[in-house]
């Protein structure tokens, strides 16, 4: 084919779907919205999730929770490390999407993608260590053993960062999965493409369907449904507008769910991680047992 004919070719416009229960359904509303780069150039269409999609995602996350939370910590670490392997294999695609989504130069986008992969590996490595670090053998004045062990919270609703389309997304999703909880994530509305590609990575690695569910849409619309849902145990409002967070906290209080305290402005996701987010998704269970029995 000549160069002139190649230049006349019309590219195939993509319309992406949701990632829900290990599958890729369309939004039940049938809505989509255009995704553009920083200069307004059309990139793709993304599904516009609805309240019904949120409910379906929570059902899928709850169904997956018993199997994921009861898997051995070592097995969860292996599964999450496999995600990092697939992320590495699709590094070039992520670099391209992060560059277009965030308006970054090639070198900067490469460093962000590399940091996201390394961060995923970091959290995967903590799955079989966190119980030893956060658990304890308690001194007891009596003929008993007393142990405190951390257990996963349950289903976590996550409003992903709006600016950091990949590294911030990994930072809010990976600790949920590493602790044995399951997640329903609302991606960045303006920068959803890295989240969509991460959905494909999750689907083609060893993560069981329903453990992570990623919805594209607007946090202002979907956040209240996550906050008020009775089967969601914790909420991360990072991607919500600061003015909306008090309302989300009030909705969450009606069902006594944990709401993470987050800074008003998005943090610098490139700073070294710590155990803060892992701690937030764990509940302490203390067990007593008589000696000699």
pLDDT digits (tens, 9 = 90+) for 209-265: 999 999 999 999 999 999 999 999 999 999 999 999 999 999 999 998 999 999 989
Domain that holds residue 192: 18-36+43-290
The answer to whether 171 and 273 are in contact (CB under 8 A) is: yes
Does any domain span residue 12? no
Dist CA 283 CA 111 (whole Å): 34
Does any domain span residue 11? no
Per-residue H/E/C for 238-270: CCCCHHHHHHHHHHHHCCCCEECCCCCCCCCCC
Average pLDDT of the segment spanning 118-124: 97
Average pLDDT of the segment spanning 153-160: 97
Helix (H) or strand (E) segment spanning residue 235: strand 234-236
Q: Which of 74, 172, 169 is nearest to 124 (CA)?
A: 74
Does any domain span residue 13? no
Does any domain span residue 155? yes
Dist CA 175 CA 193 (whole Å): 21
- For the beta sheet containing 282-290, the strands, ordered from the edge strand earlier in sequence to the opposite edge, are 136-137, 144-152, 282-290
Average pLDDT of the segment spanning 140-166: 91
Return the pLDDT at 289: 80
Percent of the chain exceeding pLDDT 70 equals: 97
Q: Is 147 left (phi over 0), alpha (psi -120 to 50) or beta?
A: beta
Does any domain span residue 93? yes
Residue 292 has pLDDT above 80, yes or no: no
**Burial class of 184 by CB neighbour count within 10 A (0 to 12, 13 to 18, 19+):** buried
Q: Which of 217, 214, 193, 198 is nearest to 96 (CA)?
A: 193
pLDDT tens per residue, range 55-88: 999 999 999 999 999 999 999 999 999 999 999 9
Per-residue H/E/C for 24-86: CCCCCCCCEEEEECCCCCEEEEEECCCHHHHHHHHHHHHHHHHHHHHCCHHHHHHHHHHHHHH
Does any domain span residue 65? yes
Cβ neighbors of 99 (< 8 A, separation 6 or more) are 105, 106, 108, 109
Does any domain span residue 196? yes
Q: How many domains is the chain partitioned into structurally? A: 1
Does any domain span residue 210? yes
DSSP annotation of 180: T
Domain CATH for 80: 3.40.605.10
Within 10 angstroms of residue 256's Cβ, the number of other Cβ atoms is 8
pLDDT tens per residue, range 182-193: 999 999 999 999
């Amino acid at each position: 084919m000549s160069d002139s004919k190649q230049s006349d070719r019309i590219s195939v416009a993509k319309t992406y779907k949701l990632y829900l229960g290990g599958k890729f359904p369309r939004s039940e509303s049938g809505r989509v919205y255009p995704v553009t780069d920083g200069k307004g150039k059309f990139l793709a269409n993304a599904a516009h999730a609805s309240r019904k999609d949120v409910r379906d995602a929570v059902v899928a996350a709850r169904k997956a929770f018993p199997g994921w939370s009861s898997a051995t910590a070592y097995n969860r670490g292996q599964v999450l490390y496999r995600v990092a392997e697939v992320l590495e294999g699709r590094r070039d695609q992520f670099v391209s999407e992060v560059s277009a989504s965030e308006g970054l130069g090639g070198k900067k986008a490469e460093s962000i993608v590399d940091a996201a992969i390394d961060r995923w590996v970091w959290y995967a490595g903590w799955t079989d260590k966190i119980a030893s670090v956060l658990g304890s053998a308690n001194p007891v004045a009596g003929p008993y053993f007393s142990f405190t062990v951390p257990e996963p919270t349950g289903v976590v609703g996550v409003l992903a960062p709006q600016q950091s389309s990949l590294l911030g997304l990994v930072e809010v999703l990976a600790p949920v999965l590493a602790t044995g909880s399951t997640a329903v994530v609302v991606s960045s509305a303006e920068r959803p493409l890295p989240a969509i590609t991460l959905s494909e990575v999750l689907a083609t690695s060893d993560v069981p369907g329903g453990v992570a569910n990623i919805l594209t849409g607007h946090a202002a619309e979907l956040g209240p449904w996550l906050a008020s849902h009775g089967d969601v145990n914790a909420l991360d409002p990072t991607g919500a507008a600061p003015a909306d967070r008090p309302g989300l906290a009030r909705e969450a209080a009606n069902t006594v769910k944990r709401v993470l305290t987050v800074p008003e402005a998005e943090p610098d996701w490139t700073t070294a991680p710590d155990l803060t987010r892992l701690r937030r998704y764990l509940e302490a269970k203390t067990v007593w047992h008589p000696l000699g029995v």
